[in-house]
């Protein structure tokens, strides 16, 4: 019979919530995702034109909130979770990663 050993589980450090900065409201000409329908906004998201800032592993991450998506490093994403997954390279909730959950 094999002896099972208990593996140590790494402790997850609590993440700091993101910081919001409101800049000039965006215009429709700046929105790269013009062909997407406007969906009702989630109440957890800041207003379009805001910048979500978060420190992650010594880097400052800035995500611009658009009318129909999010802009990060010059690329446009449909959801905040896609931005978070691109940053951490694994599935994760964008609301949890950026501290937007209630």
| Residue-wise pLDDT tens digits, 65-86 | 998 889 999 999 999 999 999 9
64 pLDDT higher than 90: yes
48 pLDDT higher than 60: yes
With a CB cutoff of 8 Å and minimum separation 6, the contacts of 68 are 31, 33, 34, 36, 38, 39, 78
Note the pLDDT of residue 11. 61
Average per-residue pLDDT in the chain? 78
With a CB cutoff of 8 Å and minimum separation 6, the contacts of 91 are 85
61 pLDDT higher than 60: yes
Model confidence, pTM: 0.60
Note the pLDDT of residue 24. 58
2 in Cβ contact with 26 (< 8 Å): no
The domain limits of the chain are: 19-27+44-97
78 in Cβ contact with 69 (< 8 Å): yes
51 in Cβ contact with 42 (< 8 Å): no
Q: What percent of the chain has pLDDT above 70? A: 61
Mean pLDDT of 16-22: 65
């Amino acid at each position: 019979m094999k002896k099972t050993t208990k593996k140590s589980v790494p402790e997850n450090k609590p993440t700091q919530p993101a910081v919001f900065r409101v800049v000039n409201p965006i215009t429709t000409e700046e929105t790269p995702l013009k062909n997407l329908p406007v969906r009702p906004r989630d109440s957890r998201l800041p207003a379009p034109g805001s910048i979500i800032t978060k420190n992650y592993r010594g880097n400052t991450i800035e995500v611009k909130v658009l009318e129909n998506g999010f802009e990060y490093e010059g690329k446009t994403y449909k959801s905040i979770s896609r931005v978070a997954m691109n940053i951490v390279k694994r599935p994760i909730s964008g609301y949890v990663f950026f501290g937007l959950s209630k």
